[in-house]
């Protein structure tokens, strides 16, 4: 039996659709996925009990997918089964996203669970390399993509985010705690004539079993609204939801989508 720890958004349902056997769908309270029925809802304060529920259901494998917000922990609600995990949970809550997810993997693996990546279960979510659209990137776009890759590498040391917007070798915006969509919305009132690109890639050194970046049709719409000329994602490192619609939206709006090899 495999459990799917499902966060918000459309990714969990896309992953579940690729599973040969229906998973046990679990969600952190307040983080239910789109279009997917949740079998088990849990809280961090009762994480130890949740692990026992997984064992009782014969779960041996686990996949985490979707976005999860940082919950507020009520110390009075921590149950006895979770008390031994409190130091790990506390350290995770004080860490950045990458550190918190590494802590979660440690907890699950210590409980005897094998953690699989979403793209291992649904490999078609990773698009082939190259430009997938009618519009293709020019030399400036290629230079800006290289700059974007360097920015993501620099951001990794601070565990900030997985995306940035670059134009003319300059960073117009970097992804923070509010995510890519918020970052793009912040550029809809930019004071220039537009241009540039969205660059998205995993943080160097991150555990790719969790939090691999994702784009979808809404990303393309938001990039257009932000005045960008295209989207660049790292080959093998960014999942694409509803690829056909993403490509058609790019072609309709006149944006390029370039799946760029690392380096």
List every span in the chain annotated with CATH 3.40.140.80: 126-260
Q: Which of 128, 122, 94, 212 is nearest to 163 (CA)?
A: 212
* pLDDT of 99 above 80: no
Tell me the DSSP string of 184-245: HHTTTT-SS----EEEE-PPTT--TTS---EE-HHHHHHHHHTT-SEEEEETTT-EESSHHH
The confidence band for 156, taking pLDDT boundaries of 50, 70 and 90, is confident
Query: Quick one: pLDDT at residue 145?
Result: 98
Task: Tell me what the pLDDT averaged over the chain comes to.
Answer: 94
* pLDDT of 40 above 90: yes
The confidence band for 236, taking pLDDT boundaries of 50, 70 and 90, is very high
The CATH code of domain 126-260 reads: 3.40.140.80
The CATH code of domain 2-121 reads: 3.40.50.20
10 Å CB burial of residue 159 (0-12, 13-18, 19+) is middle
How far apart are alpha carbons 204 and 215 in whole angstroms?
18
* Percentage above 90 pLDDT, the chain: 82
The confidence band for 215, taking pLDDT boundaries of 50, 70 and 90, is very high
Q: What is the pLDDT of residues 168-206, one digit of tens each?
A: 999 999 999 889 999 999 999 999 989 999 999 999 888
- Mean pLDDT (whole number) for 34-50: 94
pTM for this model (two decimals): 0.91
């Amino acid at each position: 039996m495999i459990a799917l720890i499902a966060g918000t958004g459309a990714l969990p349902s896309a992953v579940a659709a690729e599973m040969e056997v229906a998973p046990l769908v679990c969600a952190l309270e307040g983080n239910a996925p789109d279009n997917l029925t949740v079998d088990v809802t849990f809280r961090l304060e009762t994480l130890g009990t949740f692990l026992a529920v997984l064992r009782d259901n014969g779960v041996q494998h686990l996949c985490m997918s979707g976005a999860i917000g940082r919950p507020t922990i009520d110390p009075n609600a921590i149950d006895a089964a979770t008390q031994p995990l409190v130091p790990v949970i506390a350290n995770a809550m004080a860490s950045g996203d990458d550190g918190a997810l590494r802590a979660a993997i440690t907890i699950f693996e210590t409980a005897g669970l094998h953690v699989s990546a979403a793209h291992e279960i649904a490999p078609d979510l990773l698009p082939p390399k190259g430009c997938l659209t009618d519009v293709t990137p020019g030399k400036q776009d290629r230079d800006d993509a290289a700059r974007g890759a360097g920015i993501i590498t620099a951001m990794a040391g601070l565990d900030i985010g997985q995306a940035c917007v670059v134009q003319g070798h300059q960073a117009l915006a970097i992804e923070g705690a509010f995510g890519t969509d918020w970052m793009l919305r912040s550029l809809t009132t930019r004071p220039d004539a537009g241009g540039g690109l969205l660059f998205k890639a995993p943080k160097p050194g991150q555990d790719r079993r969790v939090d691999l970046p994702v784009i979808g049709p809404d990303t393309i719409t938001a990039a257009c609204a932000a005045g960008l000329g295209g989207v660049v994602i790292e080959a093998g490192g960014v999942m694409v939801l509803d690829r056909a619609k993403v490509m058609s939206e790019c072609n309709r709006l006149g944006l390029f989508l370039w799946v760029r090899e690392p380096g």
